[in-house]
Amino acid sequence: MRSKVLRPTLKPQSCPTPLPQSFINVMERADANPICKLITEMQFHWAPPETSSDPLYIKHSISKVHVELLGPNGLVKSDRVRLGLYGMKPDSEYGIRTHAAEEIYIMLAGDVDWKRRDAPYAIHLPGERSYHPSMMPHASRTHEVAFLSVYAWYGDLSTDNYVYEGIPSNK
Ligand SMILES: [Fe+2]
């Protein structure tokens, strides 16, 4: 007997906003994580995160897409962890930030450069990770293509100590 393929039953968000084509392009590449096919079928509200009200943060966030799946603001509520999907459009840069939570990004599709503390930017491809301990400055940028990742925040999930410093002078 053939087993049925189980599909997630997460309800579509009330006002879904589709992923821009630049993300679909990298999610259909051969090196993308296979979960990308399922993600493209989900009706999420893809929008920049609203972690800070700092005007520079908002200005530099327009290239980002984000869905909090699990967390204080997530589709599923949790005060123990934030888990979600995060990406950036091509040719964009989101500068140095620090926050109390420990964080890990696992790349699903596309290419992205991550900068950790004072180290130079380093490219990350699908399957690679970038780990950011609590309060460690980090930054990210893209070039010709977008990237999409899954991220997790754990520890202190508050955004009270979130600081955005802008584009780094030493790249
Ligand atoms: Fe972060």
Q: What does the domain layout of the chain look like in residue ranges?
A: 21-159
Q: Which of 17-26, 111-120, 144-153, 160-169 has the lowest mean pLDDT?
A: 160-169
Average pLDDT over residues 15-26: 94
Residue 131 — pLDDT band, cuts 50, 70, 90? very high
Residue 1 — pLDDT band, cuts 50, 70, 90? very low
- Kindly give the distance from the C-alpha atom of residue 5 to the centroid of ligand 1, in angstroms, as a whole number: 35
CA–CA distance from 148 to each of 40, 56, 80, 108, 128 (Å)?
Answer: 11, 22, 23, 6, 12
166/94 Cα distance (integer angstroms): 7
- Kindly give the distance from the C-alpha atom of residue 138 to the centroid of ligand 1, in angstroms, as a whole number: 7
Average pLDDT over residues 54-62: 93
- Kindly give the distance from the C-alpha atom of residue 26 to the centroid of ligand 1, in angstroms, as a whole number: 22
51/49 Cα distance (integer angstroms): 6
Please check the confidence at residue 11 and state whether its pLDDT lies above 80.
no
- Kindly give the distance from the C-alpha atom of residue 44 to the centroid of ligand 1, in angstroms, as a whole number: 21
Q: Which residues contact 4 (CB under 8 A, 6 or more apart)?
A: none
Please check the confidence at residue 138 and state whether its pLDDT lies above 70.
yes
Average pLDDT over residues 102-126: 97
- Kindly give the distance from the C-alpha atom of residue 158 to the centroid of ligand 1, in angstroms, as a whole number: 12
Residue 10 — pLDDT band, cuts 50, 70, 90? low
Please check the confidence at residue 4 and state whether its pLDDT lies above 60.
no
- Kindly give the distance from the C-alpha atom of residue 130 to the centroid of ligand 1, in angstroms, as a whole number: 10
Please check the confidence at residue 110 and state whether its pLDDT lies above 70.
yes
By C-alpha distance, which of 131, 46, 134 is closest to 88? 46
- Kindly give the distance from the C-alpha atom of residue 39 to the centroid of ligand 1, in angstroms, as a whole number: 22
- Kindly give the distance from the C-alpha atom of residue 78 to the centroid of ligand 1, in angstroms, as a whole number: 18
Fold of 21-159: Jelly Rolls (2.60.120)
- Kindly give the distance from the C-alpha atom of residue 1 to the centroid of ligand 1, in angstroms, as a whole number: 46
- At 131, the amino acid letter reads Y
Both structure tokens of 157: 């999930």
- Kindly give the distance from the C-alpha atom of residue 134 to the centroid of ligand 1, in angstroms, as a whole number: 9
